Amino acid sequence: MSGTATIESKVKRASNATILDKAISYISPAAAVSRIKNRMLFAAFSDSAYEGASRLKRALRTWFPALGSANTDLNTATRQSLIARSRDAYRNQPLAKAIIMRSSDSAIGDGLILQARVDWKTLGITEEEAAAFEDLIESEFSAYANSAECDAERTLNFYQQQYLAFASALSSGDCFALTPYIRRPGNIYEMKVQMIEADRVCNEGNAGNTAQLFDGVEYDTYGAPVQYHICRAHPGDIVVNSEKNFTWDQVPAFGANTGRRRVIHVYWKERPGQSRGIPILTPILEPLKQLSRYTESELMATVISSFFTVFIKSDAPDMGLGETDPLNTNSGNSDGSTNENPDRPSMELGSGKVVELFPGEDISTANPGRPNTAFDGFVMAVLKQIGAGVGIPIEEILLCYTGSYSAARAAMLQAWKMYKTRRKWFATQFCQVIYENWFDEAVARGRIVAPGYGDPRKRIAYTGADWRGPARGAIDETDEITAAQKRVDMGVSSISIEAAELKGVDSRDIHRQRVREHTDRVRDGLEAPVLNAAAREVITPAPTAPSKTQQERQREKLQDKEGAIK
């Protein structure tokens, strides 16, 4: 109300005719009216009800940011500069390295593990059959993912590729992956994962952007990617090979027959219409660089102050003192001569030593006054802003939990929200896409029997999955376990959820392992068998059937069901 009233009062004052207006009105009434009208418009639009939009306030008078689209604001030159600076900070600045490593270690760690979640109701099977089918899928996918043969470069397994893709997307803004089919001896599956660095996706011949092509990504009229322009080598490769470096391939974004995504683009989309990603360090690049310079200068000043330097001030002519050696390790020149005056007493520093100076001489010492006592407080103040900019508390960045238990746990929980969000985003854009493409080949090869897989709805039911990552961890294990038990007892959580949160494992795996261990201990007489409290009968757990037999039985059951459907 106050802002609106202020504007109205300014307009009212502007509408009052001045002496000059009245004089002009005698000659040209239209010109006088125009003057008053323009003055009223200026008064109305020169300020705003929102102070942040004011153009008159001294603090905002020179702040005129551009209002552009997502791709205009993130143009090619801007994005390349951000990527280059972000990578340089990641290589050379400890804080930048810590931010990206902390995010990658907590969100991805040693890799997100598949938990198949078959929609058994849609498929018309029982929950028990779905559980057996999920075990088969996880076992088959694990054989593929644990081998470096899934990598087109034969270097990393699928879980290591996850870490590489995630860290690269954080430092470069985005990361790409292809799923080519490469036939190799001894490989079960031909589908490979080929990692592509963000710089290789660019316009052919470094041409300018158009309405449908932006930085190597070609779109249709709806803004959906159609194909990607990928250079066969990194444009900045030091090995100059014009035939290879300046050749681009147009790779379709989706398969023509299956509609599956063939080019995986991992990036954090912040605005509608944004075609490429930006590094996570973007909003903190300047404070990071300035803090790095400040730290280096303070470190250098501290090192200099550790050298106790003595200067001899003299009014007399040059006495041939030269530079003395405090440890007397270099008493002469290479030609046998000496810089020191033979009549001068020894000038080496020593314990409790008293040196007599010549007349007119005095001693002056250099002391930079380091270390700086305000250094730690200033750095921590800047770090708080840096941590807020990336969503990671400073305790997590520095791995220094010096506060109370409550404060440390609050910092961990706050950081965990960001890690879980990033994990879900990455699992959707990277892991799930690769898993669905792998599932297509597994069904096509008959490794997995999936009746009705050609139906898009059933395909979704078959390929449902959760991706389990590293556990959150706990500051106090006893308190965390007690709280988890209470949540399960109250019915607001489950053993599966708590196992994933506390240990990052599947509760079914824990159950199977406990059954096996109990069976072995009962057999060897190290543990009493379980008793049924009602019937008081001894219940000895049956040994678990070999995994291969379970898979064969499941395949046979699904084949019989498929035959019955036909």
Q: Write down the pLDDT at residue 559.
A: 61
- Confirm whether 245 is domain-assigned: no
What average pLDDT is seen over the chain?
Answer: 81
**In a domain? residue 316:** no
Identify the three-state secondary structure at position 493: coil
Q: For residue 296, is it within any domain?
A: no
Convert 275-294 to b/e letters by CB count within 10 Å (16 or more is b).
Answer: bbbbbbbbebbeebeebbee
Average pLDDT over residues 322-341: 51
pLDDT score for 311: 62
State CA 155 to chain mean position distance: 22
Q: How confident is the model at residue 356 (pLDDT cuts 50, 70, 90)?
A: low
Residue 562 has pLDDT above 70, yes or no: no
pLDDT at 544 over 60: no
Task: Answer yes or no: is pLDDT of 298 > 60.
Answer: yes
Domain for residue 29, yes or no?
yes
Q: For residue 347, what are the contacts with CB-CB under 8 A and spacing of at least 6?
A: 312, 321, 324, 340, 355
DSSP secondary structure letters along 301-336 = HHHHHTS-EEEEEESSSP-S-----TT----S-TTS
Specify the length of the chain in residues. 566
Task: Give residue 534's pLDDT band: very low, low, confident or very high (50, 70, 90).
Answer: low
Structure-token pair, residue 416? 């965990």
Number of domains comprising the chain:
1
Which pLDDT score is estimated for 560? 60
> pLDDT tier at 345 (50, 70, 90 boundaries)?
low
- Where residue 339 falls among pLDDT bands split at 50, 70, 90? low
Query: Who wins on pLDDT, 352 or 491?
Result: 491
443: closest CA among 431, 429, 455, 432? 455
The pLDDT value recorded for residue 263 is 95
How would residue 515 be classed by pLDDT, with cut points 50, 70 and 90? Answer: confident
Residue 41 lies in a domain: yes
CA-wise closest residue to 101 among 296, 289, 281, 294: 281
What would you report as the CA-atom Rg of the chain, rounded to the nearest whole angstrom? 36
Contacts of 559 (CB under 8 A, 6+ apart): 449
Buried-exposed string 17-49: b where 16+ CB fall within 10 A, e elsewhere: eeeeeeebbeeeeeebeebbeebbeebeeebee
- Compute how many other C-beta atoms are within 10 angstroms of the C-beta atom of residue 87: 16
Domain that includes residue 39, residue range: 2-60
The arithmetic mean of pLDDT across residues 457-473, rounded, is 90
Q: List beta partners, residue 218.
A: 213, 227
pLDDT at residue 531 in the model: 63
Query: Which residues does residue 365 pair with via DSSP β-bridges, in sequence order?
Result: 310
Residue 14 lies in a domain: yes
Rounded CA separation 485/499 (Å): 11
Q: Please report the DSSP string for 165-183 in residue order.
A: HHHHHHHHSEEEEE--B--
**Is the pLDDT at 190 greater than 70, yes or no?**
yes
Query: What's the rounded mean pLDDT across residues 288-297?
Result: 90
On the question of pLDDT at 123 being above 80, the answer is yes
Least confident residue range of 48-57, 362-371, 448-457:
362-371
Position 84, amino acid: A
What local confidence, expressed as pLDDT, does residue 8 receive?
Answer: 56
Q: Which has the closest alpha carbon to 209: 84, 82, 69?
A: 69
Q: Quick check: 378 and 295 in contact, CB under 8 A? A: no
User: Which two tokens mark 282?
Assistant: 């973007």
pLDDT tens-place string over residues 7-45: 556 555 656 667 777 777 777 888 877 877 777 666 655
Mean pLDDT of 127-155: 94
Measured at the alpha carbon of residue 216, what is the angle toward residues 212 and 222, in degrees to the nearest 5? 30
Q: d(Cα 25, Cα 33) in Å, to the nearest integer? A: 8
Average pLDDT over residues 223-242: 82
- Return the higher-pLDDT residue of 323 and 123: 123
Asked if the structure places residue 314 within a domain, the reply is no
Is the model's pLDDT at 566 over the cut of 50? no
Signed CA dihedral, 112, 114, 120, 122: sign only:
positive
Query: In this model, does residue 435 exceed pLDDT 70?
Result: yes
Residue 464 reports pLDDT greater than 50: yes
Higher pLDDT, 489 or 310: 489
pLDDT of residue 539 exceeding 60, the answer is: no
**Strands 263-267 and 174-178, sheet pairing:** antiparallel
Mean pLDDT of the 530-538 span? 56
Q: Which residues pair with 113 in a beta bridge?
A: 468
State residue 399 phi and psi, 5-degree precision.
55, 45
How far, in Å, CA of 299 to CA of 371, rounded? 8
92 part of a folded domain:
no
d(Cα 262, Cα 177) in Å, to the nearest integer?
8
What distance in Å separates the CA atoms of residue 529 and residue 518, rounded to the nearest whole number? 8
